[in-house]
Amino acid sequence: MAILKRLKGTLAKGSSLPPKENVASVAKRIALPPKFAPDSFTVLDRPSPCMVCGLNTVRFKSDYPSNVKPFSEQEVLYCTNCGSGQVPGSAQLLQGYYEQDYASSNRKDREIEPEVYFSEDYRNKSRALKRYFGRASRQLSVLRKYGSPVTRMLDFGSGPGYGLFLSGAKEKFAFEPDEKSIKYLDHIKAKRFSAIGELRPASFDAIIASHAIEHLVPEALIATLAILINSLTRDGVMLIEVPQGGHSYLHLNARQDPHTLFFTPQGLSLAVELAGGEIMLQRTYGKQSVPLRKNPIYAPPDHPFFKEDRGGLTVVCRRRRN
């Protein structure tokens, strides 16, 4: 509808369609502007359980903050206890998406041969790869700072394996559904897991889950985190990094799809603790703050990390010690 209105407005100003073009063909060429925030929040008839913090405090809903189908057709539910958003019942929404569509619609770089992809020369020419490798390098430094030797490492949601490639780990493991990443993981000799249930307790001294858990089916969040935390050795360390998802109190300005979980700093911390993790570090790595909402539906508690208004939410944890 918005496309047609824009098209009619153009025609009303006196411009005409080129030969062999009609309204339908022109409409296909006109892209909707990006949408990064919900249009409005609506109060739910009754509260429901939050799949991030576990309390029965989901009280609002909104439209999905994107113009990209099928995500734009979804609703996001919000918790007033932790402020996090979630798209319930998204298993069907995501079925086959990461195996076949994600790399081509989001990354668009999986046709390059591994020898070139991992070369220093190619990395220096690609702004995107510079960012991914730079982020992975910083995450590995944090893991080592908090005691991990990074010898037996799992990258959960590894993509092509930026962190694994830089880690120098003796044994490399990856969980990544994107089929177009397989050749890169094979190139760096990473063993791949195809199901979270394949992970065994006390298996890894280092785990990175970088911009991955916001893509999980919300109903599986806590169980997945519990398996990851339980797969750490006694002295093992896991780093989780997610984008800022606090639509409930912030005006975010970055692409949201295909996220199914929108974490606030408090929500991320509570989920890790609920899954059995003992938090060692909470911080953000984003450079720019985003504006606060004038009428928020959630107020962060008075805690430095929980009140953060930047991206790159990062938590480092280990298995909770009795």
The pLDDT profile of the chain, 322 residues, written as one tens digit per residue, is 343 344 344 334 444 444 445 444 444 445 678 999 999 999 999 999 999 999 999 999 999 999 988 899 999 999 999 999 999 988 887 775 644 555 455 555 678 899 999 999 998 888 989 999 999 999 999 999 999 999 999 999 999 999 999 999 999 999 999 889 999 999 999 999 999 999 999 999 999 999 999 999 999 999 999 999 999 999 999 999 999 999 999 999 999 999 999 999 999 999 999 999 999 999 999 888 899 999 999 999 999 999 999 989 999 999 998 7
What's the pLDDT score for residue 101?
53
Q: How far apart are the first and last CA of the chain?
A: 58
Query: Which token pair is 27?
Result: 């409409």
What's the pLDDT score for residue 119?
94
Where do the domains of the chain lie? 38-319
From the list 73, 97, 82, 75, the residue with the least C-alpha distance to 51 is 82
What's the pLDDT score for residue 83?
98
What DSSP string describes 305-322?
Answer: TTT--SS-EEEEEEEPP-
What's the pLDDT score for residue 108?
58
Q: What is the pTM of this model?
A: 0.87
Q: Any bridge partners for residue 232, and if so which?
A: 204
H or E stretch including 138? helix 127-145
Residues 190, 149, 313, 58, CA torsion sign: positive
For residue 171, how far is the Cα from the chain centroid? Answer: 25
CATH code, residues 38-319: 3.40.50.150
d(CA 117, CA 243): 25
What's the pLDDT score for residue 14?
45
Query: Which token pair is 215?
Result: 């893509």
What's the pLDDT score for residue 96?
59
What's the pLDDT score for residue 9?
44
What's the pLDDT score for residue 116?
93
